[in-house]
Amino acid sequence: MSELAEIRRQLFDISLELGAIRLDMNFPFRWASGYMMPIYNDSRLLLSRPKARGLIAEGLELLLRQNGHQQVENIAGVATGGIAHALLLAERMQLPMQYVRSETKMHGLSHKIEGLPGSCGEAGYKGQSAVVIEDVISTGESALRAVETVRQAGAEVKGCFVIYSYAFSKAEEAFTKAGLTCRAILSFPELLGHVEQQNLFRQEDVEQLRHWHRQPFMYLAE
C-alpha cells in the first residue's frame, strides 16, 4: 500500500469512529451552497485527535510533493474550516501561513487575508507563491473565492489542497475554469470503496449514495 493510501485508510477509520461522516436519507443536511444533501462530513472533528492531525499534515505535504509544489512559499487556509489544517501543514513545512476570510473584516485593520506582514494591501504577497488549503470541497465555491482573494493580493496560486472532496464534476469544472488543480487526501468515491470493503454501511445506503453522487444537485428534485 502506498504511503498516501495508508494515510487515507487511517483517516477514514478515524472519521468513521468519531462519527464525523453522517448519513441521513430522510432528514438531509443543509450545505454551505444551500443544497440539502443526504451526507455530511464534519472534518473538523479530526482535529480532536493528535494522530489524525499528524496524518493530515503528512498527507497534505505528500500531495504537495506529488504535485511538485514542495518549494511553495506560503500556505493559505480558507476560513474557517481550512485554518487549522493549513496551520498543521505550515508548521510541518516551517512556512508562513495566512488565512482568508469570506468577507473583509469591518473593524480593526479591515483585512480579508490575515497573517500577511506589512500593510496587507492589494499586492501583499509581492508575487510569492501560495497554496490554498480547505477542509471540504463540495461545489468548490468557498475555496475558489479564497483563491481569487489570494491572487488579487499578488500571489501565484499553485493549487488547492484539501482533506476531503466530494469529487463532483461541477467542482472539477470550476477548478479547471480557474486554471487550477485541486487535490484531496480523501474523496467521496474512496469513502464508498472503504465502507463497502469493510461492510460499514448498509448495502442499500451505499447504493443510494452511489445513485445520489451521479446527480447530487437534483437530490431533492427527484
Ligand X SMILES: O=P(O)(O)OC[C@H]1O[C@H](OP(=O)(O)OP(=O)(O)O)[C@H](O)[C@@H]1O
Ligand Y SMILES: O=C(O)c1cc(=O)[nH]c(=O)[nH]1
Binding residues for ligand X, rule: CB under 6 A, are 32-33, 78, 80-81, 134-142
Q: Which residue is nearest to ligand X (CB)?
A: 81
At closest approach, how far in Å is the CB of 40 from ligand X? Answer: 10
Q: Which residue has the cell 437534483?
A: 218
Nearer Cβ to ligand Y (63/136): 136
Cell for 180? 487550477
Cell for 99? 488565512
Q: Does 163 bind ligand Y (CB under 6 A)?
A: no
Stretch that binds ligand Y, among 30-38, 86-94, 150-158, 203-211 (CB under 6 A): 30-38
Which residues within the stretch 131-150 sit at the binding site for ligand Y (CB under 6 A)?
Answer: 136, 138
Largest CA distance in the chain: 55
Q: Which does 140 bind (CB under 5 to 8 A by kind): ligand X, ligand Y, none?
A: ligand X
CA distance 23 to 76: 30
Task: Using DSSP, state whether 132 is helix, strand or coil.
Answer: strand
Q: C-alpha dihedral over 15, 16, 20, 21, to 10 degrees?
A: 120
Stretch that binds ligand Y, among 39-47, 51-59, 69-77, 202-210 (CB under 6 A): 39-47
| Binding site listing for 5-phospho-alpha-D-ribose 1-diphosphate | 101, 105, 107, 134-142
Which residues within the stretch 59-98 sit at the binding site for ligand Y (CB under 6 A)?
Answer: 81
- Residue of the chain from 41, 98, 149, 165 that contacts ligand Y (CB under 6 A): 41
CA distance 9 to 67: 21
CA distance 67 to 53: 21
- Residue of the chain from 25, 32, 36, 123 that contacts ligand Y (CB under 6 A): 32
If we measure between CA atoms, which residue out of 121, 151, 141, 107 comes closest to residue 32? 141
Cell for 92? 510541518
The contact set with ligand Y (CB under 6 A) reads 31-33, 40-42, 81, 136, 138
